[in-house]
Amino acid sequence: MTRFRCAIHIVPRRGILDPQGKAVADALHSLGFPAVGEVRVGRYVVVDSDAASADAARAAVKAMCEKLLANPVTEDFEIASVEPA
Task: Concatenate the DSSP letters of all residues of the chain into one string.
Answer: -EEEEEEEEEEEPTTS--HHHHHHHHHHHHTT-TT-------EEEEEEEEESSHHHHHHHHHHHIIIIIS-TTTEEEEEEEEEE-
CATH number at residue 63: 3.30.1280.10
Asked if 44 contacts 20 with a C-beta cutoff of 8 angstroms, the reply is no
What pLDDT shows up at residue 59? Answer: 98
Show the domain range for 11.
2-84
pLDDT per position as a tens digit, 8-63: 999 999 999 999 999 999 999 999 999 999 999 999 999 999 999 999 999 999 99
- What does pTM read for this prediction? 0.87
Q: How many domains does the chain have?
A: 1
Label residue 3 by pLDDT band (50, 70, 90).
very high
Show Cβ contacts of residue 36 under 8 Å, excluding neighbours closer than 6 positions.
25, 28, 29
